[in-house]
Structure 1
Amino acid sequence: MSFEFRILMFGIGTALVIFVIIADMSEVEEEIPNIGDLQKFHFKGFMHPTNSSLGLNAAHTPLVTFRKSKVSSSVTPLPYLKGKTSNSSSSEWTFNRTLSNLIRKNILRFLDAERDISILKSTFKPGDVIHYIFDRQRTTNISENLYHLLPTASPMRKQHYRKCAIVGNSGILLNSSCGDEIDSHDFVIRCNLAPVEEYAADVGLRTNLVTMNPSVVQRAFQDLSSEEWVERFVHRLQSLSGSVLWIPAFMAKGGEERVEWAIRLILLHTVNVRTAFPSLRLLHAVRGYWLTNHVQIKRPTTGLLMYTMATRFCDEIHLYGFWPFAHDPDGKAVKYHYYDTLTYHYTSSASPHTMPLEFRTLSALHRQGALRLHTGPCKPPT
């Protein structure tokens, strides 16, 4: 086979992957509801101070098997083993540093989380137009307040940690007694401003980075519809105390007003957080990596995004609260979130996420020692 023919075939294969990503993304439904139909709370005088914004049986679910990629010679897909999903909090787990380093190396071919964790002040100026990631026909503008909170350098610049915990929000955490173990990690990542104080024994208190989808303002804080909800929201932000607050502001049309509310409150109350707004290429880059490894996800969940990025900063990654099933291994009902009554159809074709598939993938990585997936109670300290 001639060199020119191989180059041609590689180009065709790469084009097909790009086509699949674009086609699939166009089918993803917007995760954030239209704010125009919701009750709005109108802030008075909130301006910058210096300016006048799975009941499935997991044990019988086959795991993903990865094959050699036919479309990219630059990345070696990971050879995972078939097996059964089981309670992953096993004392037999051993960290596989070689595999962890290989995953980091391959992910870095798609994205560099130190750079892609946030757009920077030098990239935009107030008034600049940005196209939404999931709705390229619709745009938003960089407000004066948002620009004020853009970091001048990556909040994770030159950061590296030996052990990191990523805490998901599944009800599997309830009565787990994992709080102290989670807090013992060198760096703790949490998702969507989940409450911690009243659940500290199970989920811990330490937070170094936390995500906040704009829809959280509506779901968890009633769209700031009263002074009481504003105070609760501000209290939660103030409790972060120097943490990185990661706000995906440019994913889909509908959340821009909530983002602006949060930004105004941060500025008004001089909240001690380091804000980050993910780059416009991050989601596509993360999805591209997993597609190359034959994980056919529509849109990565926040948990999978955080794991993918954390490989850049962390040697050993531990996952807690990742359980996309309606029942635990003993058949007991598990809440979707440990802190509310929200329900979700994990396998719904209308969902933008494929949580059971992600979980099976993470289970495979757990069994090979690339990460540790904690799905059972934590042992009390001795």
Structure 2
Amino acid sequence: MRVMRTLMLWLLPIILLCSFCSVAFWIFLSNNNVIPHPSSRIPQKSSETKSCKGCSKDNVLIAKGLENYSHKWKKHEANFKRFRSLLSSKCYAVSKAVVTKNNTPLGSNVIYDGERRKPLQVTQALFNILVKEQPFGNATWESCAVVGNGGILANSSCGEEINSAQFVIRCNLPPLDNRYEKDVGNKTSLVTANPSILHEKYSGLMERRRPFVESLRPYGQALLLLPAFSYGHNTPVSLRAFYTLEDFGSDSPLPVFLNPEYLRRLSKFWRERGLNSVRPSTGLIMASLALEICSNVHLYGFWPFNKHPNDNRPITNHYYDDRESKKNVHSMPTEFEHLLKLHKQGVIRIHLGECQPT
């Protein structure tokens, strides 16, 4: 009995003390609205950082690009001649840009620039449809406009200025109807046609072919440049395009084939200058071609971002739709950066925003 009493005397103060501490702890939490802090081992990202991650990257690229841009452009003749001479000595566009009877003899092999282990022998049938010599000849055009399809051309009022160029190059069969004529013009000296477009829009020319011929009417008798020998699967559809125009296309564009040897040389030229994309885009290829055959080169519709450089307003990927390009093949911002450097050096002129009335 005495032991039990003694034990109770010891336990009672301990029980009372624990109860008091528990009550005090809960009163403290209630009065101070305490929220436990997160572990310092797990850093928390703010919602602002998450939501602006993509746009801040674009803003940096745009700001960096515009550092080399000036609306008050002036041609630097010495820089132009130096760059043109270097480009011509490496790529030979005047003699090699297009596959011809002169540079691709009967019985020789065409080496695909995308599949070098798979040569194509030049048969009599293939040789017969090649143009005899380069369509560019030895003449140099005074002024050339290379028209990309960027959304920056929408509401630009550049159509009249583009039409005033002596030689106009367009990329990948863009629409030229009345909806766009004010902004992009309608004059065409050369237009490219990617085989993927022939598959998507015209079922690879395996069905009705007249719609394809009719769609080319806006380009008049321009050169139709086909990359028939980039990959093996491009050859059959490109040949079908050639034969379709031969069969149905009076007063239509003249189909010619882009030379894979020229493409290899051009890819190497730009790689040596830091461009590491899988292959140059059509826009860069055409800008490079223009630099060899034209005295004054102007670029329109070259802007690889979805914000306008003047006021940051959203713009579409193309002046006629918002379809995205294949970013895993081409490096558009990097290409544009190289072109901007040439703009800054007075070699080539890039037009951004609205064109001034002439």
TM-score category, normalised to shorter length: 0.7 to 0.9
Q: Kindly state the Cα deviation for residue 296 of structure 1 after the two structures are TM-superposed.
A: 3.2
Partner SS, residue 116 of structure 2 = coil
> What TM-score results when the alignment is normalised by the length of structure 1?
0.71
Structure 2 counterpart of 1:255, one-letter code: N
Structure 1 counterpart of 2:245, one-letter code: I
Structure 2 counterpart of 1:102, one-letter code: R
Alignment match, 2:341: 364
Compare relative contact order (CA 8 Å, sep 6+) and give the higher one, 1 or 2.
1
Alignment match, 2:352: 375
Query: 1:277/1:226 Cα in 2 relative to 1: closer, same or farther (>3 Å)?
Result: closer
In structure 1, distance between residues paired with 2:135 and 2:98:
8
Alignment match, 2:37: none
Q: Kindly state the Cα deviation for residue 163 of structure 1 after the two structures are TM-superposed.
A: 1.2
In structure 2, distance between residues paired with 1:266 and 1:374:
34
Structure 2 counterpart of 1:232, one-letter code: P
In the alignment, structure 1 residue 268 sits paired with structure 2 residue 247:
yes
Alignment match, 1:221: 202
In the alignment, structure 1 residue 246 sits paired with structure 2 residue 225:
yes
Partner SS, residue 197 of structure 1 = coil
Query: 1:286/1:130 Cα in 2 relative to 1: closer, same or farther (>3 Å)?
Result: closer
Alignment match, 2:266: 286
Structure 1 counterpart of 2:61, one-letter code: T
Query: 1:208/1:55 Cα in 2 relative to 1: closer, same or farther (>3 Å)?
Result: farther
Partner SS, residue 61 of structure 1 = helix
In the alignment, structure 1 residue 332 sits paired with structure 2 residue 280:
no
More helix by share: 2
| Equivalent residue for 2:142, pick from 138, 162, 166 | 162
Q: Structure 1: give runs of 5+ residues left out of the alignment.
A: 1-53, 64-82
% of aligned pairs identical? Answer: 32
Larger radius of gyration: 2
Is contact 1:120–1:151 with CA below 8 Å preserved after alignment? yes
In structure 1, distance between residues paired with 2:249 and 2:124:
16
Q: Structure 2: give runs of 5+ residues left out of the alignment.
A: 1-53
* Residues 292-331 of structure 1 mapped to structure 2, 5 A cutoff: 292-329=272-309, 330-331=311-312
Is contact 1:55–1:327 with CA below 8 Å preserved after alignment? no
Q: Kindly state the Cα deviation for residue 89 of structure 1 after the two structures are TM-superposed.
A: 7.0
Q: Kindly state the Cα deviation for residue 345 of structure 1 after the two structures are TM-superposed.
A: 6.1
Alignment match, 1:236: 215
Q: Kindly state the Cα deviation for residue 284 of structure 1 after the two structures are TM-superposed.
A: 1.8
Tell me the alpha carbon deviations over residues 109-156 of structure 1, each in whole angstroms, 9 at most, x when there is no partner: 202111111121245567865342211233445566643331101100
Query: 1:177/1:225 Cα in 2 relative to 1: closer, same or farther (>3 Å)?
Result: farther
In the alignment, structure 1 residue 200 sits paired with structure 2 residue 177:
no
In structure 2, distance between residues paired with 1:195 and 1:130:
32
Alignment match, 1:3: none
Is contact 1:242–1:274 with CA below 8 Å preserved after alignment? yes
Structure 1 counterpart of 2:342, one-letter code: L
Alignment match, 2:236: 257
* Residues 71-220 of structure 1 mapped to structure 2, 5 A cutoff: 84-85=65-66, 88=69, 90=71, 92-124=72-104, 130-140=110-120, 142=122, 146-198=126-178, 199-220=180-201
Is contact 2:213–2:249 with CA below 8 Å preserved after alignment? no
Structure 2 counterpart of 1:309, one-letter code: L
In structure 2, distance between residues paired with 1:216 and 1:93:
35
In structure 1, distance between residues paired with 2:346 and 2:335:
17
| Count of paired positions | 302
Q: Kindly state the Cα deviation for residue 62 of structure 1 after the two structures are TM-superposed.
A: 8.7
Is contact 1:89–1:373 with CA below 8 Å preserved after alignment? no
Query: 1:277/1:55 Cα in 2 relative to 1: closer, same or farther (>3 Å)?
Result: farther
Q: Kindly state the Cα deviation for residue 194 of structure 1 after the two structures are TM-superposed.
A: 1.2
Structure 2 counterpart of 1:156, one-letter code: F
Structure 1 counterpart of 2:128, one-letter code: H
Q: Kindly state the Cα deviation for residue 257 of structure 1 after the two structures are TM-superposed.
A: 2.5
Q: Kindly state the Cα deviation for residue 189 of structure 1 after the two structures are TM-superposed.
A: 0.6
Partner SS, residue 109 of structure 1 = helix
Is contact 1:168–1:320 with CA below 8 Å preserved after alignment? yes
What is the CA RMSD across the aligned residues, in angstroms? 2.7
